[in-house]
């Protein structure tokens, strides 16, 4: 395909594990500053799609273009450097460092071997840590050891750690699982802010939450798209009700 304005263009993407197609000729397009939610029954292939985009799993066929650059041939590391951040289901934070330190260590250091921080870079870093902490609702807890945060706050911290790298596409796998109702609402607000200047791809089951954040919803079933569009449109779709929402 020729160049497009999509931040992410997935075309005819297939991965087969011993002949089983977990993702089957999938095509999906995400706009700049779009917040897309992917829903679907367990085993639909949702997590595998994220694994393919971030390079953790290699595709069998098809193309993934991020800003018109082919990603399927790049390493995980190169994909991160290209601007794709991905959060896994379980948070991976440094429990015995403070919130501030967790954010600080996530700041991308230059590629040079002269890694020591200059004064200018130190103040730039501190400003960035404070800005991100505010975005993920942790300003009051900067000096707290991460181990002492609530489950929800740990999830936010990990989102913050990803934001320190300023990704143009942020991918989150079931971010509100295990959160309280209040934390879910706060996470919805936080994501609505975050997608003002980046694209976000979220996998989620909690439909109340999905309603609050989704610009568009993609419904996956058996590795294929069953339906796609606005929340209202998707919720009214009979096939979607039958395989997913009806349960």
Phi, psi at 85, each rounded to 5°? -110, 140
Sign of CA dihedral 85, 87, 88, 93: positive
Query: Which residue's CB is nearer to ligand ADP, number 44 or number 137?
Result: 44
User: Of 43 and 108, which CB lies nearer to ligand ADP in the complex structure?
Assistant: 43
Closer CB to ligand ADP, residue 138 or residue 219? 219
Is the alpha carbon torsion for 210, 213, 217, 223 positive or negative? negative
Residue ranges that bind ligand ADP, judged by CB under 6 A: 17, 22, 40, 42-48
Minimum CB separation of residue 146 from ligand ADP in Å reads 27
Tokens of 142: 């900067």
Task: Fill in the DSSP letter of residue 104.
Answer: H
Q: How far is the CB of 118 from ligand ADP (least distance, A)?
A: 43
* Contact partner at residue 42 from Mg ion, ligand ADP, none, CB < 5 to 8 Å by partner kind: ligand ADP
Other Cβ atoms less than 10 A from the Cβ of 235: the count is 17
**Would you say 8 or 132 has its CB closer to ligand ADP?**
8
Whole-number Å distance between alpha carbons of 170 and 172: 7
Nearest to ligand ADP of 16, 98 (CB atom)? 16
Residues 157, 161, 162, 166: is their CA dihedral positive or negative?
positive
Q: How far is the CB of 47 from ligand ADP (least distance, A)?
A: 3
Contact partner, 22, from ligand ADP, Mg ion, none, Cβ < 5-8 Å per class: ligand ADP
In three-state secondary structure terms, 158 is helix
Instruction: Please report how close the Cβ of residue 93 comes to Mg ion at its closest, in angstroms.
Output: 20
Nearest to 137 by CA among 90, 194, 88, 87: 194
Residues 30-89 that bind Mg ion (CB under 5 A): 46-47
Q: Which residues are at the interface with Mg ion (CB under 5 A)?
A: 46-47
């Amino acid at each position: 395909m020729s160049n497009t304005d999509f931040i992410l263009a997935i075309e005819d993407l297939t991965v087969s594990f011993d002949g089983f197609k977990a993702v089957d000729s999938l095509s999906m397009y995400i706009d700049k500053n779009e917040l897309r939610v992917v829903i679907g029954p367990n085993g639909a292939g949702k997590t595998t799609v994220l694994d393919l985009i971030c390079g953790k799993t290699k595709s069998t066929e098809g193309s993934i273009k991020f800003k018109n650059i082919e990603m399927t041939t790049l390493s995980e590391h190169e994909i991160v450097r290209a601007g794709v951040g991905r959060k896994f289901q379980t948070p991976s934070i440094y429990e015995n460092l403070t919130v501030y330190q967790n954010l600080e260590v996530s700041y991308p250091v230059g590629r040079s071997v002269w890694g020591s921080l200059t004064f200018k870079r130190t103040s730039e870093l501190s400003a960035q840590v404070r800005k991100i902490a505010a975005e993920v609702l942790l300003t009051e807890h900067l000096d707290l050891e991460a181990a002492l945060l609530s489950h929800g706050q740990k999830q936010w911290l990990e989102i913050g750690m990803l934001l320190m790298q300023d990704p143009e596409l942020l991918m989150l796998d079931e971010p509100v699982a295990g959160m309280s109702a209040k934390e879910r609402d706060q996470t919805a607000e936080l994501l609505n802010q975050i997608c003002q200047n980046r694209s976000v791809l979220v996998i989620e089951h909690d439909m109340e939450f999905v309603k609050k954040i989704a610009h568009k919803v993609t419904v996956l079933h058996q590795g294929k798209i069953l339906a796609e569009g606005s929340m209202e449109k998707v919720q009214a779709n009979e096939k979607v009700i039958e395989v997913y929402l009806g349960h």
